[in-house]
Amino acid sequence: AQAMKVDDIQNLSVQPQPKYQEQFTLHRTAQAADTAVDKPNGYQPSTELLTDFNNSRPQAVHYAEQTPKYNGSAQLNNALKTYLAPLRDQPTNFSVDENIEPVAKVDEFPLGIAIAQLHGIYILAQNTEGLIIVDMHAAHERILLQQMKNAWDKPEFWTSQQLLIPKVISISRMQAVRVEDLKPQLERLGLEIDLYGDEQVIVRGVPAILQKADFENLIPELLNDLDPNDEAQGLLQKRDELLAGMACHGAVRAHRQLSLSEMNALLRQMEQTEFASQCNHGRPTWRAFPLSQLDKLFARGE
Q: How many CB atoms lie within 10 A of CB 157?
A: 15
Q: Are 209 and 148 in contact (CB under 8 A)?
A: yes
Number of H helices, E strands in the chain: 10, 7
Find the radius of gyration of the CA atoms of the chain: 28
pLDDT, residue 73, reads 53
Residue ranges of domains in the chain, CATH in brackets: 6-87 (no CATH), 160-206+213-250 (3.30.1370.100)
Q: CA dist 190 to 75, 159, 211, 254, 257, Å?
A: 59, 5, 11, 25, 28
Q: Are 247 and 198 in contact (CB under 8 A)?
A: no
**Closest residue by Cα to residue 209 from 261, 140, 271:** 140
pTM over 0.95: no
**Closest residue by Cα to residue 17 from 83, 116, 91, 86:** 83
pLDDT tens digits for the chain (302 residues)? Answer: 444 444 544 444 444 444 333 333 333 333 444 444 444 454 444 333 333 334 333 334 444 444 444 445 555 555 545 444 443 343 333 333 444 444 445 567 899 999 999 999 999 999 999 999 999 999 999 999 898 888 877 877 788 889 899 999 999 999 999 999 888 888 888 899 999 988 999 999 988 878 778 888 888 988 888 877 766 555 666 677 778 888 888 888 888 889 999 999 999 999 999 999 998 888 999 999 999 999 999 998 77
Phi, psi for 162 (deg, rounded to 5): -65, 135
Q: Are 206 and 190 in contact (CB under 8 A)?
A: yes
pLDDT, residue 235, reads 61
Return the SS3 of 302: coil
Displacement of CA 167 from its chain's centroid (Å): 28
pLDDT, residue 193, reads 92
The one-character DSSP state at 107 is G
